[in-house]
Structure 1
């Protein structure tokens, strides 16, 4: 897009955002800040908006995040559906008194979706400095916020069932479906996971174990991913769907406690808690952290969930017991492991995400996945093998073995 076309687009969007604020502002001006980012599904612009409040005659300012869809990924990542999900979340699910970023404006136009959000850096929330293997206190803060997030789903499901399920029915399935031909996540799930079986065989690991894992992982998309996301009562709730460090911000309060805020709700889904729990544990945490801190992490999540339910006056919380959540985790933890096989080589720097997307565009989903299967070599394969064997030790593979 040329500079002139971009400026015209930006002026049009900003005029609509300003109009949404009402008639009580004057002398409006805005500036595009230098810090912009290009992500897998969107382009992000940071805007500084200044104006005069006509009510109190005070000069005020707002910092805005402007998310715009990337048109060249519509067929691959179904960006339109992702933006529809995020718009649904902000317009129908959140309340003004909650900590989420305020949504100022949305535009739903084919190939040009836009969401304008409050830049919560002004509230002291910032991204973690690492996208993998954060300090334990960051993981515990993330788990506490996830407990509250899942708790909100349980409360709305019980207190406002019609509103809750009306929202659920509008959620667009983006990843875990067979209705899309050339679904990149299907190829990645069924191909990239098999490297771990090949590695274990090369290390003369138990042949029966390898055979059974190969039978499961060769069709991981259907047997693991689609199966795990199916909602089962009573534990099904609204899940974030992409619960990773890149989709949360952190703030240290005056009392020293670290708090987390969730962002990017493009993959929300009515599903099982293990979808979010296993995603974080296997995409963001090392094998050592999972082995040494698993119980502490799970307890932090469950304690926050329980407190949220009790504060909302939900009395029958036994169905959300720690044992019930742990059993759900054991049933579906392979979900996070499959995502680990796909994303950890990228997070550890063995494949640039922009290069990965370009290869998908150039080669197609199947051939690009085959090319990327062994990224990181034995270093990554060993990490994946250790994670799989720890899943066995936790009792998460009994339904496979």
Structure 2
């Protein structure tokens, strides 16, 4: 919206957020303003550095806050949004080489507009950006459209996602994955060079392994009182020490067959859904702090492993994986990319998915404090781990 704007009333309060996460502090903003003589009211969500000292240090060290800002907006040292430190090194190196560092969301939207029809384009697959500011290890502000004001809701973590929500999420992430394939195959982009701020393999392994090292002792301690889960406890003890990091690295390292940009934290807490009686549920993906270059099966495994009730996962897991594949291939076809050009098959996806389930299970172990104390969540975690141990995935 162009032209002069006049700020009227505004309000700030803690976000009424049912999500259980630790990577940001969130505020709900209400802003009334006039533009071109007309009144407007915006509902916004501000994300700040977390107040908890451990979580704050974790976010700063892992660059999660800056990475999410860069997902939405170009951050220039010259504009003072980033000041000093190693956080600006990737952008500075690119600038020194005469290369323009691109931003993921606009790049994805641009390649979709170039090759797809208006009918194919999704609105609100992730929130719109209003403002971003960053200062090294001191301040981080990301202001986004509050999608909950547009009818989107966070699914209940304890209940797990419905079949309609799961399918909507898989289609949305398949479309995102396909657009990043199009950037590579149609536009000739090297994604790791195009977006040098992506989470690296070393960073992702270190971050997830840090969670496992904190969560695994909690889970093993809890299982001491669960004699019916002796096999689960015995199986998990093998992941004390270096084994967890080895499993994580094997999955998070790029494939020699097919890689896309992946969300890498793709579970129900980072998804919003808008239900419609006369149409399929719509999904909006949030929290892009961990976006990286890797196997698309990572996102699928994280979703199906963490966010479904055991009966739903057991009964429909294979069917949902096939639904993702069909959506992915259908979207690629709209870009004019044929399956034979990929050199990646459904069997390759299934193999990557099986391996990624082990990584996803370790993420569940690392985040087990979210489940402990809530019986429904505890049983879901234990059922998941028992199933994967029985299947030989863990």
TM-score range, shorter chain: 0.7 to 0.9
Give the Å deviation of 1:342.
2.8
Q: Distance in 2 between matches of 1:39 and 1:389?
A: 27
TM-score computed with the length of structure 1 as normaliser: 0.73
In the alignment, is the contact (CA less than 8 A) between 2:211 and 2:367 conserved in 1? no
Q: Distance in 2 between matches of 1:203 and 1:177?
A: 28
Identify the residue that residue 383 of structure 2 maps to in structure 1. 383
Match 2:8 to one of 24, 28, 31: 28
In the alignment, is the contact (CA less than 8 A) between 1:231 and 1:272 conserved in 2? yes
Q: Distance in 1 between matches of 2:142 and 2:4?
A: 22
Query: Deviations along 1:62-99, whole A, 9 cap, x unmatched?
Result: 21111111252332343661011111211201136753
Identify the residue that residue 144 of structure 1 maps to in structure 2. 171
- Matches for 1:314-353 after TM superposition, within 5 Å: 314-317=337-340, 319-344=343-368, 346-347=370-371, 349-350=373-374
> Larger Cα Rg: Structure 1 or Structure 2?
1
In the alignment, is the contact (CA less than 8 A) between 2:15 and 2:45 conserved in 1? no
Q: Distance in 2 between matches of 1:381 and 1:137?
A: 22
Instruction: Point out where structure 2 has 5 or more consecutive residues left out of the alignment.
Output: 74-102, 114-122
Determine helix, strand or coil for the equivalent of 1:150: helix
Q: Distance in 2 between matches of 1:224 and 1:156?
A: 29
Q: Distance in 1 between matches of 2:222 and 2:7?
A: 61
| Structure 1 residue 93 corresponds to structure 2 residue 95 | no
Give the Å deviation of 1:142.
1.5
| Structure 1 residue 153 corresponds to structure 2 residue 164 | no
In the alignment, is the contact (CA less than 8 A) between 1:65 and 1:119 conserved in 2? yes
Give the Å deviation of 1:226.
1.9
- Is the deviation greater in 166-175 or in 239-248? 166-175
Q: Distance in 2 between matches of 1:348 and 1:241?
A: 23
Give the Å deviation of 1:152.
1.8
| Structure 1 residue 176 corresponds to structure 2 residue 208 | no
Determine helix, strand or coil for the equivalent of 2:255: coil
- Is the deviation greater in 305-314 or in 121-130? 121-130
| Structure 1 residue 297 corresponds to structure 2 residue 320 | yes
Give the Å deviation of 1:232.
0.9
Identify the residue that residue 78 of structure 1 maps to in structure 2. 60
In the alignment, is the contact (CA less than 8 A) between 1:150 and 1:238 conserved in 2? yes
In the alignment, is the contact (CA less than 8 A) between 2:155 and 2:272 conserved in 1? yes
Match 2:49 to one of 53, 65, 69: 69
Q: CA RMSD in A?
A: 3.5
Q: Distance in 1 between matches of 2:31 and 2:361?
A: 43
Determine helix, strand or coil for the equivalent of 2:139: coil
Identify the residue that residue 15 of structure 1 maps to in structure 2. none
Specify whether residues 382 and 171 from structure 1 end up closer, same or farther in structure 2 by C-alpha distance, changes over 3 A only.
Answer: closer
Q: Distance in 1 between matches of 2:3 and 2:38?
A: 15
In the alignment, is the contact (CA less than 8 A) between 2:67 and 2:290 conserved in 1? yes
Give the Å deviation of 1:310.
0.8
| Structure 1 residue 49 corresponds to structure 2 residue 31 | yes
Q: Distance in 2 between matches of 1:246 and 1:297?
A: 19
Determine helix, strand or coil for the equivalent of 2:250: helix
In the alignment, is the contact (CA less than 8 A) between 1:157 and 1:165 conserved in 2? no
Q: Distance in 1 between matches of 2:240 and 2:213?
A: 12
